[in-house]
Structure 1
Amino acid sequence: MNQYETLWKETLEAIKNNFNPDTFSWICKTSLFRIEDGMAYVSYRSVITKNIMSDANTKDLFEQYLSEMWGEPVHIQLMHYREVEKMMPEEIVQRRTKELVQTKFNADYTFENFVQGKSNQGAYAACFHCCVEDSHTFNPILIYGNSGLGKTHLLHAIGNYLQKERPEKKVFYAYSGDLVSILIDAMKTHNVQSNTVEMVQAQLIDNDYFLIDDIQNLTQSSSQEIFFKVYNSLIAKGAQIVITSDMHPNELEGIQNRLISRFNNGLPINILKPEFDTSRAILRKKLEGYEEACQINDETIDFLAHKFSDDVRKLEGSLRTLVFNATLENVDVIDLPFAQRVLSGQLIVAKPNKLTPKQIKKVVTKFYGLSYNEVEGKSRQKKLVNARHMIVYLCHETLGTSWTQIGQELGNRDHSTIKSSYDRAIKLLKTDTAFQIAMNKIKDSL
């Protein structure tokens, strides 16, 4: 590591806490090429990174820290990495080409730090199993679900586990947008100082684990051709592929049918929003790092678990916000009034929760094209039975409605029948693709 790499690493570490994890993950994809005549040349790959770094406040913050560490004032000049490579000696370019597939994983995203519950235990088990077994029975593993539920955490957990326990394994991880950029750049350039398609393809195939985040963004047809070849070669050599997506493979738009068919041929697993108990467990896990700063009572934990369970990032972010404000105001115990005041500006808290069992029944029956009388009746037709399972599951998971109350909504069925219906819904969410897709669409409607 040269002096500029060391300096940039120290600068990134110094400003890390000024950004949320998502934003910082893009900032990390920069590097300091050199400093000359008071100008620091910083390279980027993605336009997203460029936009973040171009913000006046962000740029001022970097220049302040970098100037302090360098010992004299410097100003940052952003440059696309291709422009930087033209300024480098050829041997350095060749070395960086070989390092194309080296991957850094978030040290906080481990299997130990992943809180399991009914909503995510299938995804967790599949990811952990593929790390400890070489047979790779399920290939590819495709984890799908809404943003903020732990999909990226599991990919990094795989990488961290393998680097620690099985360092001989070669692991590649990339956000699909970055992978597209790499492939498109390779197709556009042909000079000796650039990564050719063949070079990139060979490096991607030379891995034992291939981890791709947000596959729904792989929509460039030209890059899909290369990805298809890489994918087939990896499967043929027995490498494990793990992919995440915001939606089920059948709902992916702009992805070739032959790729969707291969994704379905593996193990698609739906990761759902955490149920109430899992949300509480996540909060208690995060609290382990804040115990010395302040205490939070159980009522507040329950409040956060109820209000922010749709997104684990928001759930954890709400806790960080409370701890930060409690530190500013010298609050020893965070209680419910304090939490409501601090978080009142956030829409999810300010907006009243008007959802009721009757509204859930209305949305589900509309989705299936049924009437209330049909759902409340005795018919065992599959569509009717699935609609009842859906209503039971959503009422209990979303609103915490009792079995008796749900039974009243469904034609005065007894609580044991409703409990059995809930158990059946859990099984269908793990095994029935059509039921999983229907659940996601109904949740969107709600």
Structure 2
Amino acid sequence: MDSEKLNEQWRAISAQVSSYADMDASQVSAFFSRLEPQAMSDSFLMLTADNDFIKSWVEQHYVEPIQRALRDLTGVQFVVAVAVDPTQEARKAASATVTAPAAGNAATAPAAGAVTTPVVPPAPPATGAAATPAVPPAPAPGQAGALGRATPLPPSSPMGTAPLSTAPQPYMPPYDEAAVIDHYSPQPAPEAATGGASRPSCSTSSLTFGNFVIGDSNRMAYSMAVEVAESPGRSPLNPLFIYGKSGLGKTHLMRAIQNYIEETRPGMRTVYADSADFLSKHVEAARAHDREKSSYKDFKTYYEEADVLLIDDVQYLQGKTQTLDIVFQLFNTLTAQGKQVVLSADRMPKNIGIDERYYSRFSAGGVIDIQPPEIETKLGIVKSFADEYSRSEGLGNFTLASDIQMYIAENSSSNIRELKSAVTKVIYQMMLFNRADMTVEEVRTLLENHFSGGPSRNLSIEDIQRAVESFFKVSRSDLVGPKRSRSVVYPRQIAIYLCRQLLDLPYNDIGKKFNRDHSTAMHSVASVEEMLKDNRGVQEEIEALQKIISEYSE
């Protein structure tokens, strides 16, 4: 497809995305102006961004809307890939300096008397030097409105009247093609089929022990992870099983173990596997077995030859009997050889719907939970992430005001991903619109619908206690008092469980509100989780209470 046709189709896609009610047209225009289409076929679109920040933001917030626009315009489901082309911004700048004087039309010429600033492309990096990602330039005062105008297209846009070209235009370096395929391929080939047994593990250098923020909620898990990284295979912590709700840092600790071992023990082979990806590769290897007898053996060998095997989110495998059996075989083979196994899940082993022989073996070593972070830990994460972002983007002494940091820490849920995305959103707003002086009131407006939990939802432990008291006809003095009769203990356990689920507070904080300690709160939650497995009456009571409590937060 020629570049003119490709750019025309990209403009049509951009206009379609901007037209959606749930999209901010000014932000779409600002970000899409930093993207360039590189190749397009009947079901694939390749885009490049000029730096890692733009790439990451587009992947997180705009790939799905782009796919939706392509589906609306063509009726075809597309795979959309984004790569970084560090030369892109320089080429645009150089092109602007060459073409602007020659354009000579009223639409592009500066107004009479306007002061123009020549655009100078940055010097190329020295030979052998790593290219530094470009920092998105802040617009000059008065330019924000221009960023918000989407380019209108005539009704006869070719995107709506002609099928897409079926001849893909190959994209040339610089970009890591293997990484793009791994990230976007809906059905990645199993390692065995691609010579995976000889490939090195994919390190995630940004997730290390050094940038893991430690607090009371995760200190023990952190200590155990460090001990495993320093002495992999030692029996007291082999296997290590880390559990906790999504977004609390389980994957961070697993990747930190992997990176530490790869850095300090290069002779050891580490393999990290997400359970969903492991399942996909297992199914693919089993299907390929009839065509290629060695495929299944190669699949197992890839994991059996690991010195350290880390499997994330094993709760995803409940009900997947054959895949669980393979995991169990790998587990027994590796631990018998003194090799380290690390597992993670969103719940303790016995609460995963798996056979007893699995969870009893998974619990044979160290089992530790990560609790929701306290305000102090969340504040530390906000500061750490803002500093890390500032360094990676070359922003010098950029900082977030202390009241903005505290607002984000107090209002975010326990999910660290949500907290970090809030920080990124605020920093982006400051950079894009040159607003380093944003106030906490402006941040509150910006993040009004961002947080899924926290105080901004106006729900408290007292609200949950009040709802439970009314539902079960017990008094506050009984609910938080010393009584241990069934008629009081059961509502108390339900209330503590709901506090944990709806507020994401640490066990200790919840326990204090019921005049109980940390261990009692943990036991209450575990008891209710056990009852929920097969007791429909308990399930219905929880559902009814959640509906009642939801009215308090509206």
Q: TM-score, normalised by structure 1?
A: 0.69
Any conservation in 2 of the 1:364–1:391 contact (CA below 8 Å)? Answer: no
Structure 1 residues 195, 149: closer, same or farther in 2, change over 3 A? Answer: farther
2:195 pairs with one of 96, 99, 103: 96
Any conservation in 2 of the 1:172–1:210 contact (CA below 8 Å)? Answer: yes
1:147 pairs with one of 224, 235, 246: 246
Displacement of 1:14: 5.8
Corresponding residue number in structure 1 for 2:332: 232
Corresponding residue number in structure 1 for 2:539: none
Aligned ranges for residues 196-345 of structure 1 at < 5 Å?
Answer: 196-218=295-317, 219-253=319-353, 255-289=354-388, 290=390, 292=396, 294-345=398-449
Corresponding residue number in structure 1 for 2:217: 119
1:356 pairs with one of 433, 448, 460: 460
Any conservation in 2 of the 1:143–1:268 contact (CA below 8 Å)? Answer: yes
Higher helix share: 1
Aligned ranges for residues 9-20 of structure 1 at < 5 Å?
Answer: 16-20=52-56
Any conservation in 2 of the 1:276–1:309 contact (CA below 8 Å)? Answer: no
- Specify the SS of the correspondent of 2:344: strand
Any conservation in 2 of the 1:146–1:246 contact (CA below 8 Å)? Answer: yes
- Specify the SS of the correspondent of 2:341: strand
Any conservation in 2 of the 1:274–1:309 contact (CA below 8 Å)? Answer: no
Corresponding residue number in structure 1 for 2:450: 346
Any conservation in 1 of the 2:251–2:312 contact (CA below 8 Å)? Answer: yes
Displacement of 1:13: 8.8
Structure 1 residues 288, 368: closer, same or farther in 2, change over 3 A? Answer: farther
Any conservation in 2 of the 1:145–1:270 contact (CA below 8 Å)? Answer: yes
Q: In 1, distance between residues paired with 2:188 and 2:246?
A: 29
Spell out, residue by residue over 1:377-408, the C-alpha distance to the aligned partner (whole angstroms, 9 max, x if none).
3446798599599869969x9699xx9xx98x
Q: In 2, distance between residues paired with 1:56 and 1:306?
A: 39
Quick check: 1:166 aligned with 2:265? yes
Where do 5+ consecutive residues of structure 2 fail to align? 1-46, 64-70, 89-168, 175-180, 533-541, 550-554
Any conservation in 2 of the 1:304–1:315 contact (CA below 8 Å)? Answer: yes
Q: In 2, distance between residues paired with 1:436 and 1:168?
A: 41
Displacement of 1:376: 3.9
Corresponding residue number in structure 2 for 1:58: 80
Spell out, residue by residue over 1:280-331, the C-alpha distance to the aligned partner (whole angstroms, 9 max, x if none).
0011111223263743222111110011132101111111110111012212
Displacement of 1:251: 2.3
Displacement of 1:355: 1.6
Alignment-mate amino acid for residue 230 of structure 1:
L
Structure 1 residues 19, 438: closer, same or farther in 2, change over 3 A? Answer: farther
Corresponding residue number in structure 2 for 1:156: 255
1:110 pairs with one of 208, 216, 221: 208
Displacement of 1:247: 1.9
Q: In 1, distance between residues paired with 2:336 and 2:456?
A: 53
Where do 5+ consecutive residues of structure 1 fail to align? 1-10, 28-50, 86-91, 411-417
- Specify the SS of the correspondent of 1:243: strand
Alignment-mate amino acid for residue 211 of structure 2:
N
Displacement of 1:220: 2.3
- Specify the SS of the correspondent of 2:211: coil
Displacement of 1:21: 8.1
- Specify the SS of the correspondent of 1:295: coil
User: Sequence identity, in percent?
Assistant: 22
Q: In 1, distance between residues paired with 2:455 and 2:327?
A: 43
Q: Give RMSD over aligned pairs.
A: 4.7
Any conservation in 2 of the 1:390–1:439 contact (CA below 8 Å)? Answer: no
Spell out, residue by residue over 1:338-376, the C-alpha distance to the aligned partner (whole angstroms, 9 max, x if none).
211222242548994222342232467699996534234
- Higher Rg of the two aligned structures: 2
Structure 1 residues 187, 394: closer, same or farther in 2, change over 3 A? Answer: closer
Q: TM-score, normalised by structure 2?
A: 0.57
Q: In 2, distance between residues paired with 1:332 and 1:375?
A: 49
Structure 1 residues 341, 377: closer, same or farther in 2, change over 3 A? Answer: closer
Q: In 2, distance between residues paired with 1:203 and 1:332?
A: 50
Any conservation in 2 of the 1:127–1:158 contact (CA below 8 Å)? Answer: yes
Any conservation in 1 of the 2:212–2:252 contact (CA below 8 Å)? Answer: yes
Structure 1 residues 185, 259: closer, same or farther in 2, change over 3 A? Answer: same
Structure 1 residues 376, 433: closer, same or farther in 2, change over 3 A? Answer: closer
Corresponding residue number in structure 1 for 2:481: 377
Spell out, residue by residue over 1:241-280, the C-alpha distance to the aligned partner (whole angstroms, 9 max, x if none).
1111122222223x33321221233332221221100000
- Specify the SS of the correspondent of 1:261: helix
Aligned ranges for residues 416-431 of structure 1 at < 5 Å?
Answer: 421=516, 424-425=517-518
Displacement of 1:212: 0.5
